[in-house]
Amino acid sequence: MENLYLGIETSCDDTACALYSNKRGVVVHRTAAQLVHEKYGGVVPEIASRSHMRALLPLYELVMKKGGIGLKDLSGICVTNGPGLTGSLLVGLSFAKGLSYGSGVPLTGVHHLEGHILANDLEENFRTPCLALVVSGGHTQLVYVKEIGQYEFLGGTRDDAAGEAFDKIGKLLGLSYPGGPAVEKSAESGDPEAFDFPRGLKNSGECDYSFSGLKTAVRIKIESLGELSTTLVSDIAASAQEAIVDVLIRKAVIAVGRKDVHRFYLAGGVAANGRLRELAGERLGPLGIDVYWPESKYCTDNAAMIACAGMYRIESGKTDNIELNTFSRGELESWR
Ligand code: KG4
Ligand code: ZN
């Protein structure tokens, strides 16, 4: 029997809705990105929540129309309830609660990082046990996935997230927002060995990260160089990108040495980075580890991954009620 799940994602600055089928996979997914934050060079929380309020209802109606179904045809309503910006999360959660309360369709709250990891299940089957590296604008962590619903945190960043480092470096270089894709584009014509930027905690022997020193080193280098030519911008972008992906994968190598796994999944917005994908394959492949990543459109925030993760919860009887709350911070915990 076919079961259809609605996904709702409003944890940061993307309003997203999707329908996911246990038989057909992603049926329809739509994301409304909030370009308004570009002029501020970062997400303004109050503007984000107001924009979600305007965008969510029409997006939901569009997705249901494209899917050709009504509310009562759903087997579950899956909504990100954390971590993220509280005001933004509340818009999605209140909307989902209203739909569920009015229709009797089961509701489940999904951890945003579980969604990112399970974005790997949207196109190809996600297989466990495995390791996942979640790298986004707000998170950088290595997670051992024993099975879907059973997670062990192996290490994460002590300060900035990898995506945040890309964004801040992009801003320092005067590139467009968000910095990640812009730094990658500029790096294409740059020399990754032009500058030897620091790899935070590279010798710690642990699966932990630190990117704040890199950001400072890039700022000091830019200040010392004065006027930047396009070539210099590309060289700095390429060298900074290399420093980020190098240390990301160094720690991944430590993690695979600790767990008996043969699969490694990249997840989150930074998983769209071509150099990260390439280096993961180059260094983990010879260790007998197959490396996977979601299609780029499912690396960044989307609701298909939330619907998919929510499906596993609802199928296991993990439903929530009107008491469900949001949380702004919090590790991915096992629920099975
Ligand atoms: O997962 P995501 O959409 O939102 C969060 O949950 O944070 O990730 C957004 C982050 C941003 O920091 C963005 O600059 C980064 O992912 N990003 C990239 C690339 N595409 C997006 N970073 C490096 N290379 C890319 N191609
Ligand atoms: Zn995200």
* Cis geometry, peptide bond prior to residue 198 (ω within 30 degrees of 0): no
Q: Whose CA is nearest to atom 13 of ligand 1?
A: 180
What is d(CA 16, CA 35) in angstroms, rounded to the nearest whole number? 14
Tell me the H-state helices in 72-128.
Answer: 86-103, 112-118
Q: Whose CA is nearest to atom 22 of ligand 1?
A: 180
* pLDDT value for 120: 98
Ligand lying closest to the C-alpha of residue 300? 1
Query: Does ligand 1 have an atom closer than 6 angstroms to the CB of 181?
Result: yes
- C-alpha distances in Å from residue 278, one per residue of 85, 249, 282, 283: 32, 10, 6, 9
Task: Kindly report the pTM of this predicted structure.
Answer: 0.96
291 CA to centre of ligand 1 in angstroms: 19
Query: Does ligand 1 have an atom closer than 6 angstroms to the CB of 84?
Result: no
Q: Give the three-state DSSP class for 88.
A: helix
* pLDDT value for 42: 79
89 CA to centre of ligand 1 in angstroms: 19
* pLDDT value for 83: 96
Element (H or E) spanning 81, and its range? strand 76-82
Query: Does ligand 1 have an atom closer than 6 angstroms to the CB of 13?
Result: no
Query: Domains of the chain, with CATH numbers?
Result: 4-118+298-315 (3.30.420.40), 127-296 (3.30.420.40)
Q: Considering all CA atoms of the chain, what is the largest pairwise distance in Å, rounded to the nearest integer?
A: 64
Nearest to residue 315, comparing CAs of 94, 21, 17, 111?
21
Query: Does ligand 1 have an atom closer than 6 angstroms to the CB of 180?
Result: yes
Nearest to residue 18, comparing CAs of 32, 29, 4, 3?
29
Query: Does ligand 1 have an atom closer than 6 angstroms to the CB of 269?
Result: yes
3-state secondary structure 191-220: CCCCCCCCCCCCCCCCCCECCHHHHHHHHH
Query: Does ligand 1 have an atom closer than 6 angstroms to the CB of 241?
Result: no
Nearest to residue 319, comparing CAs of 2, 78, 17?
78
* pLDDT value for 43: 83
270 CA to centre of ligand 1 in angstroms: 4
Query: Does ligand 1 have an atom closer than 6 angstroms to the CB of 249?
Result: no
270 CA to centre of ligand 2 in angstroms: 10
pLDDT along the chain (336 residues), means of 10: 97 96 97 82 87 96 98 98 97 98 97 98 95 96 98 96 96 93 98 96 91 96 94 98 98 95 97 98 97 96 98 98 96 94
CB 90 within 8 A of CB 18: no
| Bridge partner list, 267 | 134
127 φ/ψ angles, rounded to the nearest 5 degrees: -120, 140
78 CA to centre of ligand 2 in angstroms: 16
Give the chain's length.
336
State which ligand 1 atom lies nearest to the alpha carbon of 139.
7
What is d(CA 172, CA 218) in angstroms, rounded to the nearest whole number? 8
* pLDDT value for 150: 98
Query: Does ligand 1 have an atom closer than 6 angstroms to the CB of 136?
Result: yes
